[in-house]
């Protein structure tokens, strides 16, 4: 069974999905982390597309969720922290716009959710990857609010970061992610929209959990 949350950067999808996975004891899948991993390989290939696609097909990408963290490894070596660097973040929208990368990541995800109950988050999960998902959510929030949340997450590792920089990065990514040709960021017609601008973290988690519990009851 698959439940999806889509939405723009900083809308709270990731922390919310992780809290839900813990509360309901289900699996968590972070599709953005897989695009970030592809981006790391792209940078390793010095942005040469031929080398990149060769490496992408050769390397073994594995992932699992544990202790509030989505862990990713390439050929057995952890890249969990490396995929969160500014360098990767700056290039990820460019790499995620490549149709071959999208089908590669989609296949990884579709294979893994065949077993168990998953909550997955991304940009196009309800529209392109899992159009038949049991339940779909689309999370949104004002740009200002999203930038503030991202800044407080990232400041620990990057004390010099400013609100303006984060705002600019998020706005640029939103634009690229929603204007690209291949599976753009878009709310699925049958997704439940959750605007989190004025909701506390607990409130947004409660709201989504309530809906999921109903579905779980129905399928028992
Ligand atoms: O959620 P995130 O910020 O880690 O995602 C990183 C990038 O990956 C994001 O800018 C767009 C891309 N992405 C995508 O194109 N489709 C998804 N389903 C998830 C992420």
pLDDT (0 to 100) of residue 42? 98
Asked whether residue 191 is domain-assigned, the answer is yes
* Mode of pairing for the β-strands spanning 118-122 and 77-78: unpaired
41-44, Cβ contacts within 8 angstroms, sequence gap of 24 or more:
41/74, 42/91, 42/95, 43/87, 43/88, 43/91
- pTM for the model: 0.91
Task: List 61's β-bridge partners, or say none.
Answer: 74
Asked whether residue 203 is domain-assigned, the answer is no
For residue 53, pLDDT beyond 80: yes
Task: List 77's β-bridge partners, or say none.
Answer: 74
Kindly report, residue by residue over 194-213, the tens digit of the pLDDT. 999 999 999 999 999 999 99
Residue 138: give its domain's CATH number: 3.40.50.300
**The domain containing residue 88 runs over which residues?**
2-197
For residue 52, pLDDT beyond 90: yes
Q: Which of 9, 13, 32 to mutate to test the pocket of ligand 1 (most atoms within 8 A of CB)?
A: 32
Kindly report, residue by residue over 64-110, the tens digit of the pLDDT. 999 999 999 999 999 999 999 989 999 999 999 999 999 999 999 99
Asked whether residue 218 is domain-assigned, the answer is no
Asked whether residue 209 is domain-assigned, the answer is no
Q: Looking at the CA of residue 97, tell me the nearest atom of ligand 1.
A: 15
Q: Looking at the CA of residue 177, tell me the nearest atom of ligand 1.
A: 11
Asked whether residue 220 is domain-assigned, the answer is no
Distance in Å, CA 211 to ligand 1 centroid: 24
Give the chain's domain count: 1
Asked whether residue 161 is domain-assigned, the answer is yes
Q: Which residues line ligand 1 (CB under 6 A)?
A: 9, 31-32, 35-36, 92-93, 96, 122-125, 173, 177
Q: Is the four-CA dihedral 123, 181, 175, 47 of positive or negative sign? A: positive
Kindly report, residue by residue over 150-194, the tens digit of the pLDDT. 999 888 888 899 999 999 999 998 998 899 888 899 999 999 999
């Amino acid at each position: 069974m698959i439940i999806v949350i889509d939405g723009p950067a900083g809308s709270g999808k990731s922390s919310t999905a992780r809290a839900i996975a813990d509360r309901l004891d289900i699996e968590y899948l972070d599709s953005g982390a897989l695009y970030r991993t592809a981006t790391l390989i792209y940078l390793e290939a010095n942005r040469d597309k031929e080398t990149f696609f060769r490496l992408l097909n050769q390397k073994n990408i594995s992932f699992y969720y544990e202790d509030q963290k989505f862990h990713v490894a390439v050929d057995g070596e952890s890249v969990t922290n490396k995929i969160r660097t500014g360098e990767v973040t700056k290039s990820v929208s460019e790499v995620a716009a490549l149709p071959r990368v999208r089908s590669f990541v989609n296949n990884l995800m579709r294979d893994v959710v065949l077993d168990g109950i998953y909550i997955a988050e991304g940009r196009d999960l309800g529209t392109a990857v899992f159009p038949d998902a049991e339940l779909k959510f689309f999370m949104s929030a004002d740009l200002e609010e999203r930038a503030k949340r991202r800044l407080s997450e990232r400041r620990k590792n990057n004390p010099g970061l400013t609100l303006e920089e984060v705002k600019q990065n998020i706005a640029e990514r939103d634009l690229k992610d929603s204007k690209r040709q291949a599976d753009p960021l878009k709310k699925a017609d049958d997704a439940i929209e959750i605007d989190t601008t004025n909701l506390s973290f607990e409130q947004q988690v409660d709201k989504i959990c309530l809906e999921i519990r109903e579905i779980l009851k129905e399928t028992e």
